[in-house]
Amino acid sequence: MKFVGVDIGGMSVKVGVVTDKGEILFKKSAICHPERQDSEIAAEIASLINVVIEESGVQRSDLAGIGIGCPGSVYDKKGVVRYSCNLNLRNTPLAAWIAERVGIGNVRLSNDANCAALGETLFGAGKGAMNSVMITLGTGVGTGIVVDGKLLTGNKSAGAEGGHIQIDVGGRTCGCGKKGHFEAYASATALIAQTKEACAKYPDSLLAKLAASEGVDGKLPFHAARAGCPVAQRLVKRYIKYVGMGLVSFANIFYPEVIIIGGGISNEGDAIIKPLQRYVSRNVYGAEYNPKIKVVAATLRNDAGIVGAAALCM
């Protein structure tokens, strides 16, 4: 069987036809008009799905379902988008509308980050795993959790907000306003803040000099650490420890086969993956009796959303 995967973004919608092995046979994207009425947005998406099915050459009778990943708060079981910051969707029964307009009954909906986690788990960095935690280190910290091959989204899909677990009593203020959350230590935003603090404290360090000439982003401390700056090396080591603490919390709850690191920071590759692997292996509870939990970087990149959305129907 084959499946349609839809990845809705604030700027574009991507639609692909996906095999049950997670291969994309054909895909196409279109500009999204986020300011339009929700019924118009649904009509545009349905129209793109119809075009993609047509142009892919796949028979409709070969399609087992349509999966949709959408940013924002999505009530998976009801197929409803509660709200989305970037799109004009409010309590929109998107799954039902797409089903009606495309003429395929089996339409599933989930949050876009959850879909990416499902895609990476089943067909990307976690290939073959049935249990995973994907941690996306970006502007915030996103978490997508797969248990027995299915997304865990919490009651009424309100859970999986793992960026907001406590890792420090009191501590740094999170984007959500509370103190000591994982996201306030482990996001790229948090790393940038930590880098700026280190530059202010050590103005003669290579880190501070590079910051002055290149500006500060999530790559800078890794770059300066590779260039031998001890301030940057300490900074990176401490940052990785913070990330590791969060990973171990998830590992102790879920004991997944694999933890997948996504987001911009994961581009640092072994510089972050290897020390995180060591931290998790050393600190997870019961490691001596249980299989090793692998820590890996995400691999599907921009296709994770389409593949993962399709996987909602598998």
Residues that bind a copy of itself (CB under 8 A): 73, 82-83, 130-131, 143, 145, 147, 152, 154-156, 158-162, 164-169, 171, 176, 178, 180, 242, 245-246, 248-249, 251-257, 283, 285-286, 289-291
Q: How far separated are the first and last CA of the chain, in Å rounded?
A: 9
Shortest separation between residue 144's beta carbon and a copy of itself, angstroms: 11
d(CA 284, CA 271): 21
Shortest separation between residue 161's beta carbon and a copy of itself, angstroms: 4
107: helix, strand or coil: strand
Name which of 64 and 130 has its Cβ closer to a copy of itself: 130
301: helix, strand or coil: helix
Q: What is 211-256 written as a DSSP string?
A: HHHH---TTHHHHHHHTT-HHHHHHHHHHHHHHHHHHHHHHHHH--
Name which of 119 and 244 has its Cβ closer to a copy of itself: 244
Name which of 228 and 291 has its Cβ closer to a copy of itself: 291
Name which of 18 and 94 has its Cβ closer to a copy of itself: 94
The pairs formed by 203-206 with CB atoms below 8 angstroms and a separation of 24 or more are 205/229, 205/230, 205/231, 205/232, 206/231, 206/232
Shortest separation between residue 149's beta carbon and a copy of itself, angstroms: 11
Contacts of 187 (CB under 8 A, 6+ apart): 137, 138, 139, 140, 141, 163, 175
DSSP-derived letter for residue 156 is G
Report whether 148 contacts 131 (CB < 8 A): yes
Tokens of 34: 């986020």
Shortest separation between residue 238's beta carbon and a copy of itself, angstroms: 10
Of 277, 265, 278, 191, nearest to 232 by C-alpha is: 191
126: helix, strand or coil: coil
Shortest separation between residue 71's beta carbon and a copy of itself, angstroms: 15
Shortest separation between residue 14's beta carbon and a copy of itself, angstroms: 27
Name which of 165 and 193 has its Cβ closer to a copy of itself: 165
Name which of 65 and 162 has its Cβ closer to a copy of itself: 162
Name which of 215 and 286 has its Cβ closer to a copy of itself: 286
Name which of 11 and 169 has its Cβ closer to a copy of itself: 169
Q: Which amino acid belongs to residue 254?
A: F
Shortest separation between residue 207's beta carbon and a copy of itself, angstroms: 22
Shortest separation between residue 154's beta carbon and a copy of itself, angstroms: 4
Using a 10 angstrom Cβ sphere, with 0-12 exposed, 13-18 middle and 19 or more buried, the burial of residue 13 is buried
